[in-house]
């Protein structure tokens, strides 16, 4: 997987959720979640591939990002004051802020991240 996957999958998320006529705020949130989770795969998993699944339900959207890599553990403790100006390191917090819930499922086969985003005023999806 290369860095080109991040904008390509963000555009996929925007195009797909836009075709489903979801509210613009939901489209933007889904795009942000996909961007952050795919970026994490690129930076932290070492996976050669990534899979993105987006599902629309009556009142929520689930975003699932899977990889076949191994999560690389941070060897230093994150310090709020020292890391406050860091250019990265906020991805999962952004995902949590956009989501009703999110969870990481770690296994020997890779990582699966799932985030559930609320939808209000959406038309019927696929």
How do residues 58-106 score in pLDDT, each as one tens digit? 999 999 999 998 766 655 665 555 555 444 556 678 888 889 999 999 8
- Kindly list the distances between the CA atom of residue 19 and the CA atoms of 28, 43, 60, 93, 115, in Å, as whole numbers in the listed order: 13, 30, 16, 28, 20
- Going by C-beta distance under 8 Å and a sequence separation of 6 or more, which residues neighbour residue 69? 41, 44, 45, 46, 47, 48, 110, 111
Degrees (nearest 5) of the Cα angle 102, 23, 29?
Answer: 35
Task: Go through the domains of the chain in sequence order and give each one's CATH number.
Answer: 5-118 (3.30.565.10)
Statement: the pTM of the whole predicted model exceeds 0.95: no
- What are the pLDDT digits (tens) for 21-67? 999 999 999 999 999 999 989 888 889 999 999 999 999 999 999 99
């Amino acid at each position: 997987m290369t860095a080109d996957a991040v904008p390509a999958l963000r555009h996929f998320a925007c195009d797909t959720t836009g075709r489903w006529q979801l509210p613009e705020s939901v489209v933007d949130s889904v795009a942000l979640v996909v961007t952050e989770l795919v970026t994490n795969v690129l930076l932290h998993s070492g996976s050669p591939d990534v899979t993105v699944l987006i599902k629309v339900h009556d009142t929520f959207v689930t975003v699932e990002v899977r990889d076949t890599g191994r999560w690389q553990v941070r060897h230093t403790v994150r310090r709020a004051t020292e890391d406050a100006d860091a250019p990265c390191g906020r991805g999962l917090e952004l995902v949590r802020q956009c989501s009703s819930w999110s969870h990481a499922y770690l296994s020997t086969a890779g990582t699966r991240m799932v985030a559930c985003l609320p939808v209000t005023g959406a038309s019927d999806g696929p």
